[in-house]
Every structure is written in structure tokens, then in C-alpha cells.
Amino acid sequence: MAVNVDTVYKTVLLILNQQQRGYMTPDEFNKVATQVQLNIFETYASDLNQQYRLPDNDTEYGNRVKNIEQKLQFFQRTGATAYVGPHFTITPTDVYRLGSVFYKDTELTQYAQRNELRQILLSPLTQPTTNFPIYLYENNLLYVYPTSIQADITISYLKTPSDIQWAFTTGAQGQYLYNAAGSTDFELDISEQTEIILRILAYAGVIIQDPTIIQVASQAVATEDANEKQ
């Protein structure tokens, strides 16, 4: 379940207005919300790596590895490629991070670096075959070896989070009226709603030049993040 953009915006405005701190325009909110979503999304990989190093927790709802992986499900995609010799171009345009590369549904487990590729190709013992191919990922292009492979390459990847949009129409008194049809919700899990609001409030404090909001919101975010990682 995604986080509703209208709920977040109205909550942010309520908190700001209740303390008579100032106002955040829809354009300011959209830019800040997009950045906040990206910030939270980028923490998932490092958090997941950290949790893998901790003792396993097999509880049904407290397994942090499983919980992070569930948050990533909204961004997981599969995609095709097109051969444009000598490389494959990745067809999807929203790739944020490449996951696995497959040849005829078999995962290519060996990823080669440019500096080791020549040595791999020259050695009779390590030369790739159609049964054990390798690939190089460089400049958003896939180079698959042996070069006789010119089709049937697919990928899994994480998509780039969509830009947040709180769309509106203008009312008779010049007020902003929420337009759900033209809006784009957060793609983050509903469990992230509190952190989204706190992070937006921290940015709002910068916009309206109120250090108190920055401090309170930033401390709340830091506390919540620390609790999640303990």
C-alpha cells in the first residue's frame, strides 16, 4: 500500500500552520517530497546489508531483513534488452540499480570488471561459454561473453522512484484544490509515512528559515532510524 500524497501534504501543512510557522507551496512540497522519497529509498540497500551481518531473527513480523525486502518490492522490476553489437542496451529507462542478468532464464553469476576481462578471455581455463557466460556492465550497457550470445538476455532491477506530484486546481477564492487524477503518490510502504512527514518538516524548516523545526524533526528522524537499526 502506497503512502497517499494528499495525506502527507495536509499533515505537513497542519503542523506548520498550527504553530504559525509558515507555509509550504505545492511546488516546494513536490520537490522536497521527491527528494525525501529518494533519501529513504537509498537507505534500503545499506540497511539490508547491515541487517545481514546481524544475528538472524525468524519472528513473523520482526524479521528486519524480510521487512526491508518487502519495502523494496514496490521497486523491483524485470526488463528486456536489445542487442546492438557488440553490446546489449537495456530497454527499461527507469533502471536505478541493476540486479541480476539472465540468459535464457539462467542467471549469469560471473560479473567481470574491465581490468580483469582480458585475462579471463585469454585463459583457456576461464574462457566463457554459452553454458557459463559472463558479462560486463559499463555505461548502462551489457557486454556478454561469448559474443555468440546475441539474444535472450533479460535483467532484474530496482526502478528509480517516480517524482512526487501533489496536483491541484484553483478554487473560486484562489485556493488550491487537490486533484487526485493528476497526482503521484509516494511509492514507499505505508510504514514509512511518519518518517516521510518528519523528513519533509525538516526541509520545511530550511525553506521557512525556522531552526526549531529543523532540530525537532531531525532529532525525531534520527531517533526513529536508530530504533529500527538496533
- Beta-strand ranges (E) seen in 104-167 are 106-107, 110-111, 134-138, 141-145, 153-159
What cell does 215 get?
532540530
DSSP classification of residue 163: P
Q: Where are the domains of the chain?
A: 2-72+185-229, 76-159
Q: What is the mean pLDDT of each run of 10 residues along the chain (230 residues)?
A: 93 80 86 95 82 70 79 94 94 94 91 84 85 91 94 96 96 92 96 92 71 64 59
CB of 200 closer than 8 Å to CB of 36: yes
**What torsion, rounded to 10 degrees, do the Cα atoms 74, 78, 80, 86 define?**
100
What residue type is assigned to position 116 of the chain? E
Residue with cell 533519501: 39
Q: How many CB atoms lie within 10 A of CB 200?
A: 25
Per-residue model confidence as pLDDT tens digits over 140-163: 999 999 999 999 999 999 999 999
The pLDDT score that the predictor gives to residue 38 is 95
pTM: predicted TM-score of the whole model, two decimal places: 0.80
Say if CB 8 and CB 186 are below 8 A apart: yes
